[in-house]
Amino acid sequence: MNKKILALAIGIVVIVLGIGAGLYFYWTSPEYCFQQAQEAVQTHNEKQFARYTDLDGLCNSSYLMFQNYEASRDAELMHSRTGMIMFLQVRNLIQPEAVASAKKTILSYVKNGRWTYGTEAGEYVSRGMADTLDIPHTQVLDVQDVDTSHSDAVVSVKVKNSILTDGFVLKVNMRKEDGTWRINRINNLKEYLEAMDKVRNHKVKGAA
C-alpha cells in the first residue's frame, strides 16, 4: 500500500476513534444525563425521564429536607423535646403518602405538561411543598458546573422562579447506577428555601 494512503488511513482511524471516545464520554457524563432528564420533561417522555431520574430518592430526600426546614423555623418546637418527638413521628407517618402524591403529580406533569393535584391528605402536603418551592413557575436557565470529584456528581444548575427572579444555583446530586447518572437529590434545598423566604419576608416588610 502507498505510504501516503496508509498514513491517511491511519489518521482517519485515529480521528474516528478519538471522536467516538469523546462522544462516549459525553453520552455517559452527568451533564448529558441531566440534559436528558430535562429534555424528557420538555418532550413528555416518561420512559426517558425514569431512566435519568431516581424519582423515589428525589421525592423522599426533598420531603425530609422541606419538613426539617419548616420545623427549624419554629423556635419553640426546636427547644421542646416532646414537640420534636411528636414532629418526627408525624413527619415519618405522613412521608409515604406525601411522597407517593409528589411522585404522582410529577409523573402527571411529565406526561401531560400540567400541574394537577388530588384531594387526599398526602396530596395537600405535596401541593403545599410545590407552592412553597414555586415549582410550577420554576425555569432551568443553564448548567454552570459539574463536580465529579466524589462518588456522586453534583451539577450546578441555575434556575429562576417568580420569587427568585435573578436566579439561584441549585446543587443537583446525581448517582451512577448501571452506567447511567440519575438525579436523586437537591443538596442545597434548605438554602433555596431560605433564599425564597428572605425575598418573601422583605416584600411583607415593604408592604407594611
Q: What are the pLDDT digits (tens) for 129-187? A: 888 888 888 999 999 999 987 889 999 999 999 999 999 999 999 999 988 999 999 99
pLDDT of residue 187: 96
Grid coordinates in use for 123? 396530596
Question: 17: burial class by Cβ within 10 Å (0-12, 13-18, 19+)?
Answer: exposed
pLDDT for the residue numbered 77:
86
Residue 22: pLDDT band by 50, 70, 90 thresholds?
very low
Q: Higher-confidence residue: 12 or 205?
A: 205
Output the pLDDT for position 51. 95
Smallest CA-to-CA distance from 173 within 153, 147, 194, 203 is with 153
Q: How confident is the model at residue 20 (pLDDT cuts 50, 70, 90)?
A: very low
Return the domain boundaries, the chain: 3-206
Kindly report the pTM of this predicted structure.
0.81
